[in-house]
Amino acid sequence: MLEEQNTYCRVEVISSLFGVTVRRVQQLTQEGIISTTKTLEGNRYELVPTTQKYIKYLSDRAYGKSKSEREMELREQKLQAEIALKESQGEMHRLKTEIASGKYIDIEEVKMDYSRFFVSFKKFALSLPSRLVGRIIGHCDPVELRAVEKDLSSEVIRLMDSFVVAGCTHEELEKKKRGKKSVP
């Protein structure tokens, strides 16, 4: 029988037998559908096993069967990756559109606005004790007024310090601590 003879064929013979181009036979080999065997004359195709593998490949394709589970898994992963890519592209397009329409503003601009606001607020809050004392100056003793002003000022400063600490991250606080030099 043919199986016992181990008939080895060149790529041209296989392409002629299958009715495809030499390049297509090489592609089938690269895809792992058929395989070559090393012989003294070089890489050759074993006639019977190669033909059987190709027939099985065509049969699987005709009946919609996948070549392998690994290929199905890879196709599924590819589809999932494509879906994720399309979703992220859609999200990126939506964000670009919203940025262009002015829905979002630059973070540096926000930082500058907050900085200006808090400088104004700090000036206002620090001026409250002296403004309050100025309004009740005729109703109390000057020493008592000075003590009230001092207490209110220290309370405002304490609250302002707690706002600064609450608004900073641990790294920013460490930088500020390193930046301050203790005065003996």
Residue 4 has pLDDT above 60, yes or no: no
State which fold the 2-66 domain adopts.
Answer: Multidrug-efflux Transporter Regulator; Chain: A; Domain 2 (1.10.1660)
Residue 170 has pLDDT above 50, yes or no: yes
pLDDT band at 5 (very low <50, low <70, confident <90, very high): low
Residue 26 CB contacts under 8 Å (≥ 6 apart), including other chains: 11
With b meaning 16 or more CB within 10 Å and e meaning fewer, what string describes 49-68? ebbebbeebeeeeeeeeeee
Higher pLDDT, 178 or 124: 124
What does the alpha-carbon distance between residue 59 and residue 177 come to, in Å, rounded to a whole number? 75
Please give the distance of CA 137 from its chain centroid, rounded to a whole number.
62
Cα separation of 125 and 1, whole Å? 103
* Dist. CA 28–CA 107, nearest whole Å: 55
145, 137 Cβ separation under 8 angstroms: yes
Angle of helix 142-167 relative to helix 107-135, nearest 10 degrees, comes to: 170
The string of pLDDT tens digits covering residues 29-43 is: 998 889 999 988 888
Looking at every residue in the chain, the average pLDDT score rounds to 84
User: CA-to-CA distance for 121 and 129, rounded, in angstroms?
Assistant: 14
| pLDDT digit string, tens, across residues 117-140 | 988 988 998 899 988 888 888 888
Q: Per-residue pLDDT tens for 61-77?
A: 877 665 567 777 888 99
- Model pLDDT, residue 30: 92
Q: For residue 183, is pLDDT > 70? A: no
Query: Is residue 181 predicted with pLDDT exceeding 60?
Result: no
pTM of the model: 0.38
Contact 45, 14 (CB under 8 A): yes
How far is C-alpha 181 from the chain's CA centre? 41
